[in-house]
Structure 1
Amino acid sequence: MDWITHDEDVWFDFRGDSPKQLTPGRYYKGTVDGFADFGVFVDLAPGVTGLLHRSELDRRLESLDWESGDTVFVQVKNVRSNGNIDLGWSIRQSESEFRGARVHDPDGDDDGEPIDNGSADDGPTPVKKTPKGISTKSRVGNGTDSTEDTEQSASTSAATETERPDDDGDSVDASEASGDEVTETTEEADAETEFEFEEASESDATTDDEEPTEVEAPERVTVDSLGDRVGERVRIEGEVVGARQTGGPTIFEVRDETAVVDCAAFVEAGVRAYPEVDEGDVVRLDGEVELRRGELQVETEELTALSGDEAATVETRLEDALSEKARPETVEPLAADEAVEAVTDQLADAAEAIRTAVLQSRPIVVRHAATADGYVAGAAIERAVLPLIREEHARADAEYHFFTRRPLDDPVYGMDAATNDVTRMLQDNERHDEKLPLVVLVGVGGTTDSLDGLGLLGVYGASRVVVDADAVDTEIVDEASVLVSPSLTDVDASGLSTGALGANLAAAVNADASDDLAHLPAVSYWQETPAAYVDLASEAGYGADGTRKLREAVALEAYYQSYQDKRELITDLLFEDDGGLAGHVSEQFRIKLDDEVETAEANLETREVDGVSVAVLDADSYSHRFDFPPTSLLADALHRRADDDRVATIVYSTDELFVRAEGVDVRTAAADASDAVPEGGITAVGIRQNRVEFLSGAREDVVDAVAAAVVDQL
């Protein structure tokens, strides 16, 4: 098979059913399935979807003129061990630009056979049956026939026949033909048209002497039973949770009280079937269950949008089943923790909201701080949710469509982050008919700094789950759809980390993931890890040294490209590492941090304020501002490693400072300092980081005033 050496000159039509059957380096014909912030998803076959990352494009992602359903050509760069497919850009985007085309059918006899131009399969295999009421001749829409168009087609066919060439190649005009010949030709054309119409839609073909044949309505069944009904006609009732147009049929994702199934409706290649049916509609669908390349699909014969009492009955059935399925039966804390035990009802509410979003095919956006603690909390929820998404949706790329984790460099969900999220969700809703997301804020939405951001989400009706181990401001209670915080109880939660609370929420969302999450709470603590979580991690095979390495490795990776989720890297570190990766990254963390701390300690200024020692560092002068560690982490390290009598550490730069001291309310300190230096523009803006902003021109006076205000509280 010498053609293999020329793979780069041809495109391939993939007819396999597994990513592992693809050949890296080859160019394949595919169909645009959807868009994400980081690239384009392309279907190479039903159930086989790859990601064309934005870094592979030769232009900006926003400038692509592709739409969902468009036929495109891509190169398979790599197939990962988990089945993910990395795609590359092809400068050739039409068949004519390649030197040929071949079939790639790993399990078939046609593998390697050439494809004639124009004969390739241009998309998903069309359904066998035209949906009820659609003529393949008229193509005027679903549920209607066009007698006028059929008659016109017959007349045109007759006219063509009356102008056929004679034996000498000259045209014979209709006016010169005999009347009998014209009549006979017209009758033949009418008969041909009638035959084609009947063949296309046999159930609709009737004569004046015959009554329409009543087709017995199929039995209503649940989606979870379709695996045992392949080849049968069935009826399902549910909600349309997604609709996408491929190069062939229209694919409706229909959810009933048990699961979601793809339903294909075909008018003609690339034409939207049932345009009157939209996402969110309650429908009744009749069709035949098929198994296409290992995935269930219903070939739609009739699709009807329900209304009134019929719709209400189905909606009630869906809501009751959804609530029963989404609400966890019990919430079992990962370990004995009084603060977690006090919020089990809150955790159940949050878990129900997250599980409901999965069942409703609603995207989930998790926002967390770009810190080790924040990453542990966000990654824990990700670990619990992704299996549920895979279980609910057969599409291989569903976990990328329905779950996004977006770290925040500034641990406040302000207007900048909210505007970014709202812009994306409105674009996804407009361009791809995606539902508005559920936004989960872990450790970043509990203070008044986040009120404006939460309010903007609320304006557009996006649900907001706020999870915060620290005390939350009372104004947040009314702004959050669901709120989880021990501060709403009478329990002392001062020793609870956001990572520990996030891991317990993840276990409530998916109890089957509990074993994977056991070591995470211990990873989230820099010091004074509760004994219960130390023991839990040890039982899971992670000693103190192991959790330290993970914590340091995640902290280092969190710093670089802080706005990226680094999903695969974080997964490798926290869940699939044998110690080699974490050990390597942790070593880099310690080298960088130790060098910076050594320099900083040599230049610390110790000030006596009312008889109390306060260490002060000018970070602009004695640290590398644009390298690891960030100023906040440097302040943490300096205060933890203090071996003198200092009670507070203040690290300041051009227009911000970080306070490290036990039991200090940075808001009160900032307010007192502002009274002392009114021209300083002093504001507490990052409560979770004890961060204060000010005007650079008053820096020296501000530092003195904040130091005095901190000592007053000690």
Structure 2
Amino acid sequence: MGSCIICGTPVEGRICDSHQEDVVFEFRGNEASQLTPGRFYSGAVDGYADFGVFVDLAPGVTGLLHRSELDRRLESLDWEPGDTVFVQVKNVRDNGNIDLGWSIRQSERDFRGALVQDADGDHEDDESDESDDAEAEVETPTVRHGSASRDESDESNESNESGKSNESNESGKSNESNESRHQRDEAEPEPSADRERVEIGTLGDRVGEEVRIEGEVVSAQQTGGPTVFEVRDETGVVDAAAFVEAGVRAYPDVDVGSVVRLDGEIELRHNEIQVETEALVSLEGDDADTVQSRLDDALRGRARPDEVTPLADHDAIVSVGTQLQDAAEEIRRAVFESRPIIVRHTTTADGYVAGAAVERAVLPLIREEHAKSDAEYHYFDRRPLEEAVYGMDAATNDVTRMLQDRDRHGEKLPLVLLVGTGATVESSDGLDLLSIYGAKRVVADAAAVDAEIEESTDVLVSPVLADADASDLSTGALVANLAAAVNDDVRSDLRHLPAVSYWEDAPQAYLDAASDAGYDETYVRELREAIALEAYYQSYEDKRELITDLLFDNGVTPDGDGENAGNLASHVSEQFRLKLDAEVETARANLESREADGVDFAVLDTDAYTHRFDFPPTALLLDELHRREREGDTFVTIGVAMDELYLRSTADVDLRAVAEAAREHAPEAGITAVGIREGRIEFLSGRREQVKEAVVEAVAEQLA
């Protein structure tokens, strides 16, 4: 019986089940069957193929990292044969083939610990054990100079993934004696009085110098080697590594939110600036207030945009200018505070345009703010949402992940930005769950907004609140303007996005802006259709590289020699049109046409006459049918599935009122309006025919 190297839990071996993914393994076995699926391993690049990268995990044990597992284009990888990389073993097939997965952690310091796995099981590296024994002979451990700490941490397979100290085991008892902790605390040096403070933003020009910085700790991560503090001042963020001994928490009283003064040497390690800590102290009283005031003043000056300049002439955007400023300030503040940003958007063309616009604006700010090259993957995440309601399922997922990131990685709680979702009372429970934990909530939506939801948000951006006419405003257009307010440097990249977000009747000002940016109406249509198709497949994935290729790289993909291989948008758009036209023709042949109280209806049994689990999704199909079939001022299209109904109308329809009236006609059917934005009503499947008739009657009564 051993104990887990992360939490100290008694286990058979060296790592408990809950921390398997927190450790990187060096594989010293001799056959694939000895690998453990789900674990992360270090390996060496063996070579490239058209479909992925081969990685050697041990002599004679090679796996394939398929291009579909990458979070970027295969061509964009800068790995060379022989380079050390980190991958996850996803599956070991019966024939010995090994399926590998991408690891966002591409350095040893990004894991909480390291172990060797061979044919006999898991154990610590012999060299690390010898190093640990040597360290144990030192009676009074001291915080060592940075360069020494990094060398020793390399031997110990340092990591960077936990905000928790290894001092505590599962029972909460310390792994150190009180005496040794007291000795260590006494030995930790504090900054001397003879240095002047320098700004973090200048550290790139000070490699090799000994400096002093002052700022706020935004994460505190215990690795298998040093403790790594992320410290921010008014100009940027940098990693500071402090070493006592392998895996032992340095400065245990310093945690996220502490205001500190730190002396150390600036080093360039793996092409990243970091401070090797010599001395560190938490500031209190006037000293802490001075630093905090400096940070707050700088943050206020940097975070709020001076004004909102619309991407094109649009009264609806002008009407929400102050709201856009407020939202942009919250987003920029999150970047400068090193607070992660989670973007939730619908899996529609409009939703993807909105989410991609924010991504385009925020990622450069994160790169400028953080010295770590992979910071954008830690501080920004775009999570598509299939429903236009931010319900408890999505909120529970987000809360679970943010609490894990807080506990494992020492991250601040995130800002959650919801675009095209979360703006109706059906999302109140989800938003309130975020609020209980103190996560910031910004909602931006151009349609289906309930003013009551403002109480469940920190900022709500909606023309409804400004009593403005938003009939010609899409959420993609609204959020593209928000993105320009967040980062004016990418304004030229965003000019065509509003036009892409409209299926029809795009304001001429946006079409002109797109044309000026090199996107004519045909190209805009192709982009919209391509995004709609790709939004459907792998709907829970952000598809960052693919969406970037479509929306921002002129839709042209390079071939293996770097030459233009073809227009990606045109190719995907053609697939969209073929699939949609085929489904529409089948549906049109099976439409039920009827009239009630002067209202013309087209009703489709989507269970019987559509391929419900293939493209297009029901909502998009009903939109297209409605566009093609509609006649006159009062035409309604209805799609009825087993337990849900979609409604489209040429005249304004109050969906909640329809549901309420339909309940009177079918009181036992469980009729509920659940998707105001997407026109969706749910009901009990056993009352399907009764519900269809009740909804037709309720709509006719409302429009008569």
TM-score band by shorter chain is 0.7 to 0.9
**Residue 654 of structure 1: CA displacement?**
0.8
Letter in 1 for 2:112: G
The structural deviation recorded for 1:94 is 7.4
Q: 1:358 aligns with which of 310, 335, 343?
A: 335
How far the C-alpha of 1:495 sits from its partner, in A, is 1.0
Give the distance between the partners of 2:233 and 2:91, measured in 1 at CA.
39
The change in CA–CA distance for 1:120 and 1:694 in structure 2 (over 3 A counts) is closer
Q: What secondary structure is seen at the aligned counterpart in 1 of 2:677? A: helix
Deviates more, 1:683-692 or 1:486-495: 486-495
Deviation of residue 529 (structure 1)? 0.8
Q: 1:67: Cα distance to partner?
A: 8.7
The match for 1:652 is 640
Match of 2:611 among 624, 634, 645: 624
Q: What's the CA shift for 1:655?
A: 1.1
Residue 324 of structure 1 aligns to which amino acid in structure 2?
G
2:410 is the counterpart of 1:433? yes
Indicate which of 388, 403, 407 corresponds to 2:380: 403
1:346 aligns with 2:323: yes
| Cα-to-partner distance string for 1:468-514 (whole Å, 9 max, x where unaligned) | 11142122111110110111113201110011111111111111111
Shift of 1:708: 2.1
Q: In 2 relative to 1, CA 598–644 (structure 1 residues): closer, same or farther, beyond 3 Å? A: same
> Within the alignment, does 1:479 sit opposite 2:467 as a pair?
no
Tell me if 1:673 matches 2:650.
no
Structure 1 residues 620, 318: closer, same or farther in 2, change over 3 A?
A: same
Match of 2:87 among 48, 52, 58: 52
Aligned twin of 1:187: none
Query: 1: distance between equivalents of 2:537 and 2:460?
Result: 30
Take 1:93 and 1:601, find their aligned partners in 2: how far apart are those partners?
A: 65
Cα distance between partner residues in 2 of 1:447 and 1:471 = 7
Tell me which residue corresponds to 2:690.
701
Tell me the CA shift for residue 713 of structure 1: 2.9
Distance 1:628 1:54 in 2: 31
Q: Is the 8 A contact 1:412 1:450 kept in 2?
A: yes
Query: In structure 1, how many angstroms separate the alpha carbons of the residues matched to 2:697 and 2:85?
Result: 59
Secondary structure (helix, strand or coil) at the match of 2:186 reads coil
1:94 & 1:414 partners in 2: Cα distance? 45
Superposition TM-score, scaled by structure 2 size: 0.75
Query: Which residue identity does 2:402 align to in structure 1?
Result: M
Amino acid at match of 1:575: F
Give the unaligned 5+ runs of structure 1. Answer: 1-7, 15-22, 30-37, 75-90, 98-117, 126-137, 146-200, 205-213
| Matched position secondary structure for 1:681 | coil
Distance 2:595 2:86 in 1: 59
User: What residue in structure 2 maps to residue 684 of structure 1?
Assistant: 673
TM-score (norm: length of structure 1): 0.74
Q: Which residue of 2 aligns with 1:585?
A: 572
8 Å CA contact retained: 1:218, 1:233 = no
The answer as to whether partners of 2:451 and 2:465 remain within 8 angstroms in 1 is no
Letter in 1 for 2:681: V
Report if aligned partners of 1:141, 1:273 keep a CA contact under 8 Å in 2.
no
User: CA offset at residue 389 of structure 1?
Assistant: 0.9
In the alignment, the residues of structure 2 paired with residue 264 and residue 584 of structure 1 have an alpha-carbon distance, to the nearest angstrom, of 49
Cα gap change, 1:50 to 1:585, in 2 (>3 Å):
farther
Letter in 1 for 2:573: S
- Cα offset, 1:280, TM superposition: 1.3
Tell me if 1:327 matches 2:341. no
Per the alignment, residue 265 of structure 2 pairs with 288
The one-character-per-residue Cα deviations of 1:691-711 (angstroms, maximum 9, x if unpaired) are 111122222222122112222
Distance 1:299 1:612, change over 3 A: closer
CA pair 431-296 structure 1, distance change in 2 beyond 3 A: closer
Summarize the Cα distance change of 1:59–1:593 in structure 2 as closer, same or farther, 3 Å threshold.
closer
Structure 1's 233 and 558: CA in aligned 2 closer, same or farther, altered over 3 A?
Answer: same
RMSD: 3.6
Identity %: 60
Q: Map of 1:633-648 to 2, 5 A cutoff? A: 633-642=620-629, 644=631, 647-648=635-636
Q: Secondary structure at the match of 1:277?
A: coil
1:612, distance to aligned residue in structure 2 (A): 2.4
Aligned-pair distance for 1:96?
8.5
1:712 and 2:701 equivalent? yes
* CA–CA separation in structure 2 for the residues paired with 1:399 and 1:391: 10
Structure 2: where are the runs of 5+ without partners?
A: 1-29, 32-40, 45-52, 60-68, 72-78, 93-97, 128-151, 160-179, 557-565
Q: Deviations over 1:53-108 (max 9, x none)?
A: 574788999xx9x993323689xxxxxxxxxxxxxxxx9997799xxxxxxxxxxx
SS of the residue aligned with 1:679? coil
Q: Look up the match of 2:186.
A: 144
Q: Which amino acid aligns with 1:317?
A: R
- Residue in structure 1 matched with residue 114 of structure 2 by the alignment: 71
Inter-partner Cα distance in structure 1 for 2:154 and 2:441: 47
Residues paired across the two proteins, number: 572
- 1:406-433 C-alpha deviation (Å, 9 max, x unpaired): 1111110011111111111111111221
Q: Secondary structure at the match of 1:599?
A: helix
Give 1:481's aligned amino acid.
D
Q: Choose from 517, 531, 541 the match for 1:564.
A: 541
2:445 corresponds to 1:468: yes
Mapped to 2, the partners of 1:28 and 1:570 lie a distance apart of: 36
The AA in structure 1 aligned to 2:643 is: D
Q: Per-residue deviation at 1:464? A: 0.2
- 643-652 vs 614-623, which moves further: 643-652
In structure 2, which of residues 476, 479, 493 is the aligned counterpart of residue 516 of structure 1? 493
- How far did residue 601 of structure 1 move? 0.5
